Amino acid sequence: MSTWKGERLETPVAVTRSSLPPLEEYVDMLKPLWESAWLTNMGTYHEEFKRQLKEYMGVPNLELFVNGHMALELALQALELKGEVITTPFTFASTTHAIVRNGLEPVFCDIHPSDYTLDADLLEERITENTCAIVPVHVYGNFCDVYKIEEIARRHGLKVIYDAAHAFGETMDGKGVAEFGDASMFSFHATKVFHSIEGGAVTFRNEKLAGRLYELKNFGITGYERVEYVGANGKMNEFQAAMGLCNLRHVDQEIEKRQRLALRYRERLSGVQGIRLCQENPKVESNYAYMPVVFDGYKKNRDQIFQDLAKYNIHARKYFYPCVNHYDCYKGRFDEKDTPVAAQISRQVLTLPLYADLELDVVDLICDLVLE
């Protein structure tokens, strides 16, 4: 237990902080880039990173991208979908934007109140003759009800593309998260458990998608003087790939550090009236990506706790708030009242600071503030 006396911390505590390899390790990776001057366009590091990721994630098919959003947007384009896509409003903007930017219509399904993922029990009633796919999100690293979602999708002939931005390195029943669905998108943004500064990947079941994804991320170019698709510049550069290779060597140790901190949070905050923590799934080997806490009937509400922490230079995050179907850019198009659980959780949830280098004493300080 901390001996903190209640003073404002001199050094700010952010909700997250990027894990970095030893500087010398990354610098050593950069020397060959100076010698070759091959800095992008699927160079040596890009191909090695791709190979090692496939091995780590246990998948035969993977394509790298400049970031997670472009990975998802181009994955949806590669599948040549038309019509409606069922997804969750309790997610980051990227998920829905990728759907809309492909000319598809998002249909929002409410979330489960215990883990905040898409409620599979409500899924089937959202399916119409225009539905072409489902885009569930493994929120905070909480696994979706993958078995039920995919059983429903098979019966209705729908594609399943997971937004797995929060779920890198996780397994369920011993099966890697990347092995589920027709495809999964991963974000390697600097704030994630595993990162390549910016970056992303798509894992996929049908190997025929490999060529299409490769071409779409390179402007749709299919030959030296041939452009067959309206693609984008979605290529990961060599500096990103080098960082990814370095961090991949350390990611398991980083997850272990996160676990220690998450367990302390749970030890301090579990069983407190008015405070709810995510329900843990014993079948899932977690990456401890986030520490979401829901304040429901607590002596202070979420916004008050948020402000109290900020006074002491501790910066939590209202993640996700507001729900996507309440965004200004979609005003008049959707109604958050259609997803009441998601709307409620978005107003009550606060993600507390959690990153590998966070000190255990600081976790105790945060818990002290929340509880006192």
The superfamily in CATH containing domain 251-371 is Aspartate Aminotransferase, domain 1 (3.90.1150.10)
What fold does the segment set 23-248 form as a domain? Aspartate Aminotransferase; domain 2 (3.40.640)
Q: Are 311 and 370 in contact (CB under 8 A)?
A: no
Q: What is the CA radius of gyration of the chain?
A: 21
Alpha carbon of residue 24 to chain centroid: 29
Between CA 213 and CA 75 the distance in angstroms is: 7
Q: DSSP letter string over 258-324?
A: HHHHHHHHHHHHTT-TTEEEPPP-TTEE-----EEEEESS-SS-HHHHHHHHHHTTB--B-TT-S-G
pLDDT values of the chain reduced to their tens digit, one per residue, 372 residues: 444 556 899 999 999 999 999 999 999 999 999 999 999 999 999 999 999 999 999 999 999 999 999 999 999 999 999 999 999 999 999 999 999 999 999 999 999 999 999 999 999 999 999 999 999 999 999 999 999 999 999 999 999 999 999 999 999 999 999 999 999 999 999 999 999 999 999 999 999 999 999 999 999 999 999 999 999 999 999 999 999 999 999 999 999 999 999 999 999 999 999 999 999 999 999 999 999 999 999 999 999 999 999 999 999 999 999 999 999 999 999 999 999 999 999 999 999 999 999 999 999 999 999 998
Buried-state track 54-79, b at ≥16 Cβ within 10 A, e below 16: bebbebebbbbbbbbbbbbbbbbbbb
CB-count exposure of residue 3 (10 Å: 0-12, 13-18, 19+): exposed
Between CA 324 and CA 57 the distance in angstroms is: 30
Strand partners, 85: 106, 133
DSSP 8-state class, residue 66: S
> What count of other Cβ atoms lies within 10 Å of the Cβ of residue 157?
8
Between CA 185 and CA 264 the distance in angstroms is: 30
Strand partners, 134: 86, 160
Between CA 41 and CA 163 the distance in angstroms is: 25
The pTM of the full predicted model, rounded to 2 decimals, is 0.96
Between CA 17 and CA 31 the distance in angstroms is: 26
Q: Are 246 and 107 in contact (CB under 8 A)?
A: no
Q: Domain extents for the chain?
A: 23-248, 251-371
Q: Are 187 and 67 in contact (CB under 8 A)?
A: yes
User: Which 3 state secondary structure label does DSSP give 30?
Assistant: helix
